[in-house]
Structures are given as structure tokens and as C-alpha cells.
Amino acid sequence: MELTIFQIVYYGSTKGIVSDITDETVSIHLEDGRYVIGVMKMNIFNNDAWTVMPEKAVFGELGDYLKKAETIKNLYSIEYSKEGRARCFDTILADSTKDVEYLLGSTVKLLDIRLSRSQILKPLIAKGTL
């Protein structure tokens, strides 16, 4: 089966919609607000956690998923320096990039911060909490 835009998929029992597609990659947004951006299509087909359905989403459904994504904390990939170490890499769950800087504290020099392309494995925590 080939993936198409607005096609319904499931990650476990969580419904998702194909939101973007290229020759080799796909982006999928899930109903709970999580998502993956630019994942290789073969990773979807070769991972038993994903089920591709033949149906397409109803008009407006993807918009609801995108709105939900804005209400939960994001997973950020960070590169930083601490205590003389050259470079360290990690991920951190936060409301925004400004919150990442706050959570790391003043002893950490943040070198790079990016919104992780995969928000699938993060816990579902509302922004402004914890």
C-alpha cells in the first residue's frame, strides 16, 4: 500500500493523519498532539507499531490534530556545554525554547536547540504544568 496525503494511520491504537509526503519521507500528526516530521516511509511500513489504513481523514480533522499539538509540551533536541566539557547532547521536555534555557540553568551554555522531528515518544503533558 502507498501512503497518500490525509491518509489515516494508527500508532498503536492512536489515530493519525498523513500531513505531508515526499518521494521518500512522510509526516504524520496523531490525534493526541504527538507527531513525526520527515520520517522515512519504509520506517512506517517496517515498524509493527504503525498500521496504515486505506481510508482518508474527513475535512478539518488534521486541523484539530495540529491545534492539539500546540497544547502539549514539546521535546527539544539540545546541544550544550557544561563544566568544561566540549559538547553534550540531550533531549528535554519543555513549553518553549525559553523554558529550555531556564530548565538548564545558568551553569549550562546552550549551543543549539531544535524542536525534535519526532514527538512520538514524549509524555503527554499540558503546557504550563509541572
Q: What is the pTM of this model?
A: 0.83
**Would you say residue 97 has pLDDT above 70?**
yes
Least confident of 57-71, 86-100, 113-127: 113-127
Q: Is the pLDDT of residue 130 over 70?
A: no
Grid coordinates in use for 110? 546552550
The per-residue pLDDT for range 54-81, each reduced to its tens digit, is 999 999 999 999 999 999 999 999 999 9
What's the Cα-to-Cα distance from 34 to each of 14, 80, 92, 116, rounded to whole Å?
A: 10, 25, 15, 11
Quick one: pLDDT at residue 107? 86
